[in-house]
A and B are shown apart, each in its own frame.
Chain A
Amino acid sequence: MSLVLIDILIATVPLMLIFASLFAFTTWLERKALARIQNRIGPNKVGIPCTRISLFGLGQPAADGIKMLFKEDIVPRGADRLFHLLAPILALIPAMLVLCFLPLEFPWTKSLLPVQAFLLDGAVIFFFAITGLNTLAVFMAGWASRNKYSLLGGMRAVAQMVSYEIPLVLSAVIVVMMVGSLNAAVIADAQTGFNWFVFSPWGFAAFVIFFIASLAETNRSPFDLPEAESEIIAGYFTEYSGFKFALFFLGEYIAMFAISGLAVTLFLGGGDGPGLANAPWLSVVWFIAKIFALIAMMIWLRGTLPRLRVDQLMGFAWKFMLPLSILNILVAGFAWHAQQQDSKTITVITWVISLAILYGTASGLNQLNRGSARPRKYKYAE
């Protein structure tokens, strides 16, 4: 019994440590990248304490963390104290929990008893079920703060997350259909040898939809309406300070890792990459490198795109992403049947046709949705 407990600890504690330290690194990376995009330098002072070694400001996350720990924890007078406390914890736990379902093959978990949680057969379903809890945490924070900005942010978050959950799940369905399994490890194994799902028309479309929806799910720019600083003053965590705020921040970044990890598992071949035959431990490195590639993309997009309006956000989810992802499921279904024929010509034809269908539908939907959004005409000022 106690042996199983130790095994569980060996399997999970490094996971939490690794991702928590990656979180610290990512905050630094994001601040640096955004600064450079805006022609600034970014954090570059804090390094090793009591020396003048600055290490490109890599000590900044640690300094921020210590600062957060020592800050006063302010709870508004009218707030619901219990839920105000619970919300940041609830924001962090699901994000941490789903990390277990990523098929990260750490060398030290190989020999363990079957505590590898990712062997769970319904991992993909479980992933979505648990990340769905995040919405609850955000709304709880907005409600418990007794602040109109927070409540607005919370309501925006619920609307956004519920809307974008659908294209997110529907694009993941394609991979599940193709592999015939919900097990994350099986899905990753099915893509070995650069047989990644992103290298097919339907897979690529699904990946793009998944990536955009995951931006919205993790409240990243350009879909950061729930925490729009310029409109509703950080939204649902307006009233959070000190370590509770840090927990929200941590939860948000861990959720980014988790959902990028799922995208890597589903579309980018999991831990697949060159050099695996000689060094199997490289699979973890490849996995995390792919996660970081997606995170870098998120940072880049954040530095580029302005925030959407609420109606644009909703319209994009329901009028563009949802029809496209449903059509993509149909295309993928036909493609699966075509692939069963095991003939080169049929495969090529399927590729061409599905590419044409998907691109045509996407641009058609784009044209349809333009609708009233024409260039503004001035009546008097010309």
Chain B
Amino acid sequence: MSILGGGIFKGMAVTLRNFVGSYINKKERLTTNDYSWRPDGDLPQGIGDYPKEEGEQLSDTTTVTNYSRNFPMLLHDGGEPMDTVRCVACQICERECPPQCIYIEKDYDENGKYIKRPAVFDIDVSVCMSCQICVEVCPFDAIVMNSQFELSTPDRFGGLLVRRDDLLKSNDYYHQIHPEEAAARDQKMAVEKAAKEAKKKAAEEKARAAAEKKAAEAAKGDAE
């Protein structure tokens, strides 16, 4: 036989523990403000004060963890963004996107010939659900997740439609915000590239061998 109303007291003890604990053990309790990755390993004084200090850059993506992912961005390999952009406007991500928030148009030169890059690449971040499916389906490692979180805007429609030029980010930036993932991706790309080149080389060799053989046969035929 338990004491009358004992369950209520038990529940109240739990909430009291959480209440007091959130003041004592901030690091463990206040998980929405995880600063434990910081070099000093300690929480800043004004915990939860955001923006933290005067003059601190608002959209400083280095202040969030390496595992933060918000919305997609497009990668280029440095230099003039549109010259080295990885995206070839194949539109796979556009078709796979569950909420259909990506809009892509292919780019053509003056002769009407398709050049492998997007003329228009829009992402409506008011629709995007950050599912990262576009990242997974992209065969060119062109679209990855950004960790930028300061996206509030006074313009409800245009402000939330992120254009191609704003989506373009360099691979260096990617290395800066998601070092592990970027390194792994670069390695994977290098392996793929090596495999491709080896295949190409093999094909070339084969072709050359075939050509030599053919030439030899032809020479033989000529001799006869």
Residues 350 to 382 of chain A near chain B (Cβ within 8 Å): 359, 362-363, 366
* Closest chain A residue, CB of each to CB of B23: A36
* Closest chain A residue, CB of each to CB of B53: A52
Any chain B CB within 8 A of the CB of A21?
A: no
- Let me know if A305 and B11 touch, CB within 8 A: yes
- Let me know if A362 and B22 touch, CB within 8 A: no
Q: Contacts A36-B19, A304-B8, A363-B4; is A41 near B14 (CB within 8 Å)?
A: no
Residues 82 to 102 of chain B near chain A (Cβ within 8 Å): none
Bound CA–CA A38/B12 (angstroms): 13
Which residue in A36, A41, A304 is a CB contact (below 8 Å) of B47? A41
- Let me know if A33 and B19 touch, CB within 8 A: yes
Which residue in A41, A45, A363 is a CB contact (below 8 Å) of B30? A41
Q: Which residues of A contact B23 (CB under 8 A)?
A: 36
Q: Which residues of A contact B49 (CB under 8 A)?
A: 44-45, 54
- Let me know if A36 and B18 touch, CB within 8 A: yes
Bound CA–CA A304/B50 (angstroms): 29
Q: Contacts A39-B18, A40-B30, A44-B49; is A304 near B4 (CB within 8 Å)?
A: no
Name A's interface SS. helix
Bound CA–CA A41/B31 (angstroms): 10
- Let me know if A37 and B11 touch, CB within 8 A: no
Any chain A CB within 8 A of the CB of B44?
A: no
Q: Which residues of B contact A52 (CB under 8 A)?
A: 54
Any chain B CB within 8 A of the CB of A300?
A: yes
* Closest chain A residue, CB of each to CB of B33: A41
Q: Contacts A362-B4, A366-B4; is A301 near B18 (CB within 8 Å)?
A: no
Q: Which residues of A contact B48 (CB under 8 A)?
A: 41, 44
Bound CA–CA A39/B31 (angstroms): 8
- Let me know if B15 and A304 touch, CB within 8 A: yes
Q: Which residues of A contact B15 (CB under 8 A)?
A: 37, 300, 303-304
Shortest Cβ distance from B166 into chain A, in angstroms? 28
Q: Contacts A33-B19, A44-B48, A366-B4; is A39 near B12 (CB within 8 Å)?
A: no
Q: Contacts A52-B54, A366-B4; is A39 near B22 (CB within 8 Å)?
A: yes
Which residue in B4, B47, B50 is a CB contact (below 8 Å) of A359? B4
Q: Which residues of B contact A41 (CB under 8 A)?
A: 30, 32-33, 47-48
Q: Which residues of B contact A36 (CB under 8 A)?
A: 18-19, 22-23
Q: Which residues of B contact A45 (CB under 8 A)?
A: 49-50
Any chain A CB within 8 A of the CB of B29?
A: yes
- Let me know if A300 and B16 touch, CB within 8 A: yes
Q: Which residues of A contact B47 (CB under 8 A)?
A: 41
- Assuming A39-B22, A39-B30, A41-B47, what are 6 further A-B pairs, CB within 8 angstroms? A39-B21, A39-B31, A41-B33, A54-B49, A304-B12, A305-B11
Please name the 7 residue pairs, one residue from A and one from B, whose CB atoms are nearest each other, closest first: A41-B48, A304-B15, A304-B11, A39-B29, A36-B22, A37-B15, A36-B19
Residue numbers of A with Cβ under 8 A of B are: 33, 36-41, 44-45, 52, 54, 300-301, 303-305, 359, 362-363, 366
10 examples of A-B residue contacts, CB within 8 angstroms: A36-B18, A37-B15, A39-B22, A40-B32, A44-B49, A300-B12, A300-B16, A303-B15, A303-B19, A304-B14
